[in-house]
Amino acid sequence: MPLAVDRPSQRDQRIVRLLMKKDYVIKILFIENSLEEAEQIISLMRNSGIAVRPARATNLEQVEKALEELNPDIVMYDPAIKGLELSDIVPMLDASGRDYSLIGLLEKINNQQVADMFIGGVRGVVPRDQPKLLLIVLQREFDALQARRQLRRLETSLRESERRCDALLDSSHDAIAYVHEGMHVRANQAYLDNFGYTSFDDLLGLPVMDLVDASSADAFKALLKGHARHEKPASQLDLHARRADGSQFDATVEFAQATFEGEPCLQIVFRQQSLDPMALEQLQRDPVTGLFNRARFLECVDNAVTDATNGKKGQALLLVEPDNWAQLVAGIGLSKADELLAAFADRIRILLGTHDIAGMLAEHTLAIVLDSRDDAAVKDWIAKLQHSVRDKIFDAGARSLALTASIGASLLGEKNANADQLLNSASQALRVAQSLGGDKVEINDPAAGDKADDARDQYWLNLVREALEKNGLMLYHQQVVSLQDADGDYSEILLRMNGPKGELLPSFFLPIAEKNNLNGAIDRWVLHRAVSALQVRESRGENTTFFVKLTAESILDETLLPWLADRLKRAALKRGRIVLEMTESKVMTTLRPAQEFVKGWKKIGGKFALEQFGSGLNSFHLLSHIDADYLKIDRSFMADLAQHPENQQKISEICEQAKKLNRLTIAEWVEDATSTSLLFACGVDFVQGNFLQIPERLTGSGSVAQAVV
């Protein structure tokens, strides 16, 4: 049954963003009868933004070869395939020694068949006619696979860390002990020396309470009871400690949760008080602002995350930066920057509640952990901070300044109780707030993702419409260098858009344009100006060819070819000056209209290129339907090319077959001289990448465009 492919919805796009990082390529093995149906699934995934390295097998020998060459992350198995039973496949997969996820592809759901497949070793099943469900199952299984791999890495790292910590424990000058249910289970030599014991055998089974003076016993006992109830211990406690000979000393005791031989315990560090507590407090403060320094604040973030894990609600992490800080410092001078930053920090300090915490996270990034507030109260606090900053006149030397601040926030709950995730989320929110133009707030609320996505999409849609109406788009070009001494200059046209904080890449705005049917208008804008630039170059006698990307929306637009024919006729360009290009996966999903479009385009003198070529199961089969002049080899083959001889072999095979078919090949994303030499040896015709030329602004497109409209 053909796979029904719809345009990815907003929810589907969120699934893909969760599914993987952009630079990760999922390696998939299809154990599948039909090449066409496997290609449809590959196209669905690529059109949803998922990078795929596929292979296909129809017998045991091919499965064995694919396992050796591909090392798949996910295996998609069709139980209808003849001669390959699940009972044969699973042992081969297990014997490869690599973790994987096995997904069953069914024509229709049959309860008994599903049960048999799960018993046989599959982790998920999906019907072929449900593409959205396929993406969801793929997300779940890929996440689970990554989680298993990460767990193994963490377990290995933990064992290594425990080994190092044990060695450090013995060599430490701090008195450290591990206590389980109030009894000593481990202590280092410094601990024995501090308390006057010669061997740990003297401490083994001794209650730690015996080392605490009676005047401090109640507080210490309460702390131990709290630990027994799995409550988070206080970070430190001042008390009177007692040595084996009965003498006493004042100590600051620090506590931390730990494990010993797999059992939860309490790590206790006794420090004799030799440092003034006020001096210790001062060491944890930023000297400019008086707020906590980075190290101390990150400890506070860890504490907040621990509280959230234990069910505490209403916490939030805020990151705050003064807008246009670099320009402000340039204006007042570096010597006055600290004075201005201290005054800015004061606006935060005066709003802090009793249990709120503020600190310095970076050079001019201030951070706040708000405690026990509902969402409305968090927003109200942020609004008060903005108002406090906005209405204050800041003095820096002889100058008086008005400031605004961008604020990124992430609400903290049990679901996102991870320090790195929380900091990254707040940092991303801060960058979004700054991209909105300054004096803005962006709050990452996991519970309100849909609403935030809608608002953000509307904002970007307004930017795209304004750019189309007011010439907010711009063109760059990057040289495509011939390795075979081809005549003329070749360049790829690259699109950018003016945003509130500078130029934006297409990945920021084209997905929104596609959802709102604006890609066709953008394509015409680009083509119109590319033709104008070529006019200028031809008038100077330059022999130039432009590669211009085309979206699927334009392929389906029956009015585009007549418009292009008229535009080229008026420009009087030589034939073949414009090469339109589309990705292999997009062409696969619009094959019939793409075929008709390419035929019509060639009749009026154009040329055509297939991007991401070689990433499908049988890419050259596509050339029997699409008459492409250029094949742009998939960029996944270019990463660390010198270290991957299998990719070099694949590129050589593509080039060899392309030459037999009289097609030219282009390698994109070439980033070093070694790769360029290897690609020349493979037989590549053209190369392109920032190593060869950084994209430059395209000149000569605007004025001529006005003249020929």
Give the pLDDT confidence of 370-382 residue by residue, as tens digits: 998 888 899 999 9
3.30.160.100, 2.60.120.260, 3.40.50.300, 3.30.70.270: CATH of 286-444: 3.30.70.270
User: Would you kindly state where each structural domain of the chain is located, as residue ranges?
Assistant: 10-151, 172-274, 286-444, 460-708
Burial 22-50 (b: 16+ CB within 10 A, else e): eeeebbbbbbbebeebbbbbbbbbbbbbb
Residue 229 pLDDT exceeds 80: no
CATH architecture of 10-151: 3-Layer(aba) Sandwich (3.40)
Question: What pLDDT score does 278 carry?
Answer: 67
Residue with more model confidence, 485 or 683: 683
Question: What pLDDT score does 452 carry?
Answer: 59
Residue 590 pLDDT exceeds 50: yes
Rounded mean pLDDT, 48-54 = 80
Residue 15 pLDDT exceeds 60: no
Domain spanning 460-708, CATH class = alpha beta
Choose among 659, 667, 656: nearest CA to 633.
667
**Following DSSP, what letter does each residue of 587-635 receive, concatenated?**
HHHTHHHHHHHHHHHHHTT-EEEEEEET-SSSGGGGGGTS--SEEEE-G
Q: With contact defined as beta carbons under 8 Å apart, do 614 and 654 qualify? A: yes
Question: What pLDDT score does 447 carry?
Answer: 61
Question: What pLDDT score does 10 carry?
Answer: 45
Lowest mean pLDDT among 138-142, 406-410, 464-468, 518-522: 138-142
Residue with more model confidence, 464 or 501: 464
Q: With contact defined as beta carbons under 8 Å apart, do 336 and 391 qualify? A: no
Residue with more model confidence, 53 or 518: 518
To the nearest whole percent, how much of the chain has pLDDT over 90? 39
CATH of domain 172-274: 3.30.450.20
- Other CB atoms within a 10 A radius of the CB of residue 181 amount to 13
Render pLDDT for 653-706 as a digit per residue (tens, 0 to 9).
999 999 999 999 999 989 889 999 999 999 999 999 988 999 999 986 653 333
Rounded mean pLDDT, 620-637 = 91
Rounded mean pLDDT, 52-80 = 89
Render pLDDT for 182-201 as a digit per residue (tens, 0 to 9).
888 889 988 998 899 988 88
pLDDT band at 497; cut points 50, 70, 90? very high
Q: With contact defined as beta carbons under 8 Å apart, do 63 and 31 qualify? A: yes
Query: What token pair was written down for 23?
Result: 């630079």
Question: What pLDDT score does 125 carry?
Answer: 92
Residue 13 pLDDT exceeds 50: no
Instruction: State the average pLDDT for the chain.
Output: 86
Residue 22 pLDDT exceeds 60: no
pLDDT band at 448; cut points 50, 70, 90? low
Render pLDDT for 336-354 as a digit per residue (tens, 0 to 9).
899 999 999 999 999 999 9
Lowest mean pLDDT among 6-10, 195-199, 418-422, 532-536: 6-10
Rounded mean pLDDT, 476-487 = 92
